[in-house]
């Protein structure tokens, strides 16, 4: 059995994180927390939502994409 510590995401150092469905209530909240922790956060969704102004305010890079393109990681990410 694998050591459980190998499966733990280390958020103590800055990471580049891309989130799919970033316009939703849950994922947008995670994006804000990660950005406020100092991580470089990008996100995509099929439509812009009311959460986007807050996401932009904390520095999240946002894109509207078609569903077929949501899982493509942006350049530099």
At 17-73, the pLDDT tens digits run 999 999 999 999 999 999 999 999 999 999 999 999 999 999 999 999 888 887 777
Whether 75 and 53 have beta carbons less than 8 Å apart is answered as no
Torsion angles phi and psi, residue 18, rounded to 5: -115, 125
- Which secondary-structure segment (H or E) carries 29? helix 25-36
Q: Report the 10 Å Cβ neighbour count for 18.
A: 19
pTM assigned to the model: 0.81
Query: Which domains does the chain carry?
Result: 15-67 (3.40.50.720)
Torsion angles phi and psi, residue 67, rounded to 5: -55, -35
């Amino acid at each position: 059995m694998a050591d459980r510590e190998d499966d733990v995401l280390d958020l103590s150092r800055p990471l580049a994180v891309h989130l799919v469905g970033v316009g939703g209530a849950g994922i947008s909240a995670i994006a804000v927390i990660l950005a406020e922790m100092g991580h470089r956060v990008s996100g995509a969704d099929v439509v812009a939502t009311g959460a986007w102004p807050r996401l932009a305010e904390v520095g999240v890079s946002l894109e509207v994409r078609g569903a077929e393109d949501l899982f493509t990681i942006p350049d530099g990410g």
